[in-house]
Amino acid sequence: MTAVRIDGVATAATVRGELVDRIAALKARGIHPGLGTLLVGADPGSLSYVAGKHRDSLELGIESVRVDLPETATADEVRAAIIGLNENPAVTGYIIQLPLPAGLDENAMLELMDPAKDADGLHPMNLGRLVLGVAGELHSPLPCTPAGIVEMLRRYGVEIAGKRVVVVGRGLTVGRPLGLLMTRKGIDATVVLAHSRTVDLADEVRRADIVIAAVGVPGLIKADWVKPGAAVLDVGITRVLNAETGKAKLIGDVDPGVAEVAGFLSPVPGGVGPMTRAMLMSNVVEAAERL
């Protein structure tokens, strides 16, 4: 492998370590940061992500409140759980674990959240602030995965300003907000947001200095699509169950051969996933600091 490995596990541990003193300072002021999660259904990926978020909270001394509803929960039951989290004083920030089961309107549910407690930065008020805030400081939470991606690039010294970034995938949690974040003044990337209707994706990727793959198609990004020396961050996750061991293996969107061409590579697993969780902890602490 020739690419420098962008290690999300180590970077996430550093980010969490930087929160320790801030959490202690909050507690000294009598403010106890608390993370809430709302999970509907039993998707194996979602169950594992929610468990990880509570493990991180516990490690940092952040209170955590977990609300789990069955796959069959009605829209009224989900709405009631959201109102409950809005009103729970022990919860200073919370997330609705996405995706919600089919039949539940995700955007309508996100809109019901108290924007001040939106730890994922996905409430329309906070996304709107990201759209409006082309320059200057933002005093609202940023979506965790895009924020984690920018943080990883910065910490590994990958230049972003003026560079051509191709983001593959226009989903709510990664692609769409990432384009907004990376084109803010001070970050200054030129972003191409590609998707399933993009004509000649390989050609778009070949012209990129930085490639972010957030699709969910294993091995989509091939080695001969990547400009030598480019930074490639794999975000896509496909869970493949091993019938013998019963354990799930995570496969990313980036073909393993890309490691021989790219200058930097953030792998799956061990890359953007752990950083997403660390940025969630950071958002919970920041929300408590705003109280």
Residue 11 binds to ligand NAP (criterion: CB under 6 A): no
Q: Which residue stretch of 103-111, 155-163, 211-219, 280-288 sits at the interface with ligand NAP (rule: CB under 6 A)? A: 211-219
C-beta of residue 152 within 8 angstroms of C-beta of residue 272:
yes
Q: Which residue stretch of 53-61, 135-143, 177-185, 271-279 sits at the interface with ligand NAP (rule: CB under 6 A)? A: 271-279
Residues 6+ apart with CB under 8 A from 28: none
Cα distance from N-terminal residue to C-terminal residue, the chain: 47
Q: Which residue stretch of 10-18, 108-116, 195-203, 204-212 sits at the interface with ligand NAP (rule: CB under 6 A)? A: 195-203
Torsions phi, psi of 165, nearest 5? -110, 130
Q: Which residue type does 291 have?
A: L
Residue 237 to residue 143: CA distance in whole angstroms: 18
C-beta of residue 98 within 8 angstroms of C-beta of residue 173:
yes
Among 215, 260, 206, which residue's Cα sits nearest to residue 234? 215
Residue closer to ligand NAP, measured from CB, 197 or 247: 197
Q: Which residue stretch of 14-22, 61-69, 130-138, 235-243 sits at the interface with ligand NAP (rule: CB under 6 A)? A: 235-243
Site for ligand NAP in 64-83 (CB under 6 A): none
Provide the 3-class DSSP secondary structure of residue 247.
coil
What is the total count of residues that contact ligand NAP (CB under 6 A)? Answer: 25
Residue closer to ligand NAP, measured from CB, 140 or 266: 266
* Identified binder of ligand NAP from the candidate list 171, 177, 179, 263, rule CB under 6 A: 171
Residue 179 binds to ligand NAP (criterion: CB under 6 A): no
Residue closer to ligand NAP, measured from CB, 251 or 288: 251
* Identified binder of ligand NAP from the candidate list 19, 40, 205, 235, rule CB under 6 A: 235
The half-sphere exposure of 64 on its side-chain side, counting CA atoms within 13 A, is 22
Residue 201 binds to ligand NAP (criterion: CB under 6 A): yes
Residue 254 binds to ligand NAP (criterion: CB under 6 A): no
Residue linked to tokens 């996750």? 237
Q: What is the DSSP string of 153-200?
A: HHHTT---TT-EEEEE---TTTHHHHHHHHTSTTT--EEEEE-TT-S-
Residue closer to ligand NAP, measured from CB, 116 or 223: 223
Q: Which residue type does 144 have?
A: C
What are the residue numbers of the active site?
Answer: 53, 97, 120
Residue closer to ligand NAP, measured from CB, 173 or 282: 173
The binding site for ligand NAP (CB under 6 A) comprises 145, 168-171, 173-175, 194-198, 201, 214-217, 220, 235-237, 272-273, 276
